[in-house]
Amino acid sequence: MKIAVDAMGGDFAPLEIVLGSIEAIRENPHMEVVLVGDEQQIFTILKENNEQKNPRITVHHASEVIGMDEHPAQALRKKKDASVVVATALVKDKQCDAVIAPGSTGAAVAAALFGLGRIKGIDRPTIATPIPTVNGVTVMLDSGANANSKPKHLVQGALMGSEYAKLLLGKANPTVGLLSIGEEASKGNEVVLATYPFLKKLKTISFYGNVEGRDIPKGTVDVVVCDGFVGNVVLKFAEGLVTAVTQLVKDGIMAGGIFAKLGALLVKPAIKKIGKRLDHTENGGAPLLGVNGVFIICHGSSKAKEIKTAINIAGDLVDRKIIEHIQKTIEVEGAFKYEYDE
């Protein structure tokens, strides 16, 4: 298994990206990593960590980087040797099995679309993010690839999300919910109202119906479908809320005196366990489903831990043949897609 890693993407590149890649191959003897980016910077970090001669880590030079503030499409046209473009090309050319792309989400999505193409029958790819819930994990998609979606995009997202949830959660028939402002089929905006009846007709998913925002942390369904604008707001709000609540608990303990601190010591193991479940870094990255290759998008703020986890996720999805599973499902439902073209 060989994974291409954009070593220059994100706020802490290349140091944290390289360190995460080193951790991944140290833990997994069957994994190989190709670090794509400025070879001088990358080799310096490898040398500092005594990994410069490791045959399972290779460096592929790329002279350009797409910044977080650059327009994705324009940057891709101008920067043909950008690290995310080169990493994607390695998968297209069958030199690697998957891509890890921290940094600009827009640039990553554009690079995947232009570099790998779409699975036949998929109009737009979607980012599938696992969210911790009281019942385990719920997959939410789209969480940022498409700000404006038509019903057909949400339907295709539901099909892909269901297949991903089967592999991630180990469930034969995961439930799929449509995110709306009420449980009733009559609630929602124009896109949601138009999507609902199409989801009910699908043969390959278990459609639960509409779900509300509060149903996500409850784990009411295994998969939640929405457009990328709403999904990204939900995701960022959830991450911010976890951070804020954690800080409020710490402040309350510190202000509560000696008894509060003693009580905190008693429940520290439980709090630590809960914190680990809610920590978004435990997920590492989110797959971009719908492109013709395994492509993992990571936070721009990703550090070594997230990169290591993302590499492991990528390897798992390659092993489990996620692309083939999606292709098969789309083929089964393919005749239906033309009914909801608008």
Residue 74: the pLDDT is: 85
CA distance linking residue 22 with residue 298, whole number of Å? 17
**Residue 311: inside a domain, yes or no?**
yes
* Whether residue 269 is found in the same domain as residue 303: no
Q: What are the tens digits of pLDDT across the range 1-11?
A: 999 999 998 88
249 and 340 together in one domain: no
pLDDT digits (tens, 9 = 90+) for 112-140: 999 999 998 899 899 999 988 888 889 99
The mean pLDDT value for 317-325 works out to 92
Q: Are strands 206-211 and 223-225 parallel, antiparallel or unpaired?
A: unpaired
Which residue(s) pair with 288 in the sheet? Answer: 127
The confidence score (pLDDT) of residue 338 equals 43
User: Any bridge partners for residue 131, and if so which?
Assistant: 138
Give the phi and the psi of residue 130 in degrees, each rounded to 5: -75, 130
How would you class 109 by CB atoms within 10 Å of its CB: exposed for 0-12, middle for 13-18, buried for 19 or more?
A: buried
CA 264 to mean position of chain CA atoms: 34
235 part of a folded domain: no
Angle at 243 between CA 242 and CA 247, to 5 degrees: 115
Give me the mean pLDDT over the 42-51 stretch: 94
Note the pLDDT of residue 47.
Answer: 94
Give the CATH number of the domain where residue 18 resides.
3.40.718.10
Residues 52 and 13 in one domain: yes
Q: Is residue 315 in a domain? A: yes
Mean pLDDT of the region 292-301: 92
Is the pTM for the entire model greater than 0.85? yes
Beta strands 57-61; 32-37: pairing state: parallel
Q: Are residues 341 and 246 in the same domain?
A: no
Cβ contact 225:161 at 8 Å: yes
Query: Domain check: are 332 and 257 in the same one?
Result: no
- The answer, yes or no, to whether residue 275 has pLDDT greater than 60, is no
Q: Where do the DSSP E strands lie in 7-145?
A: 32-37, 57-61, 98-101, 126-127, 129-133, 136-141
For residues 17 and 102, state if they share a domain. yes
Do 247 and 307 sit in the same domain of this protein?
no
Residue 138 tokens read as 């719920």
Query: 287 has which bridge partners?
Result: 296
pLDDT in tens, 143-200: 888 888 899 999 999 999 999 999 888 888 999 999 999 999 899 899 999 999 999 9
Structure token digits, residue 342: 């608008």
Rounded Cα distance, 256 and 57, in Å: 50
Cβ-based neighbour number of residue 125 at 10 Å: 27
Q: Is 335 among the domain residues? A: yes
Residue 76 to residue 82: CA distance in whole angstroms? 8
Closest CA to 286 of 143, 152, 172: 143
Tell me the mean pLDDT in the region 43-64. Answer: 93
pLDDT, residue 147, reads 84
User: Reduced to 3 states, what is the DSSP secondary structure of residue 28?
Assistant: coil
pLDDT on residue 335: 46
User: Is residue 262 located within the same domain as residue 339?
Assistant: no
- Residue 82 is predicted with a pLDDT of 93
- The verdict on 251 and 330 lying in the same domain is no
What share of the chain has pLDDT > 90, as a percent?
58
Q: pLDDT band at residue 312, thresholds of 50, 70 and 90?
A: very high
Q: In a 3-state reduction of DSSP, which class is residue 235?
A: helix
Q: Is residue 97 part of a domain?
A: yes
The answer to the question of residue 128 being in a domain is: no
Q: How many residues does the chain have?
A: 342
Task: Summarize pLDDT for 226-235 with one digit per residue, the tens.
Answer: 999 998 898 8
Provide the domain count of the chain.
2
| pLDDT surpassing 90 at residue 261 | no
Mean pLDDT (whole number) for 80-84: 93
Residue-by-residue DSSP string for 40-71: HHHHHHHHHTT-TT-TTEEEEE--B---TTS-
With beta carbons less than 8 A apart as the criterion, state whether 329 and 45 touch.
no
Distance of alpha carbon 39 from alpha carbon 8, whole angstroms: 10
Task: Give pLDDT, residue 68.
Answer: 82
The secondary structure of 296-341 as a DSSP string is: EE--TT--HHHHHHHHHHHHHHHHTTHHHHHHHHHHHHGGGGGGG-
- 11 and 93 part of one domain: yes
Which residue segment(s) compose the domain that 262 sits in? 242-275
Mean pLDDT of the chain: 87
Judge whether 199 lies within some domain: no
Asked whether residue 212 is domain-assigned, the answer is no
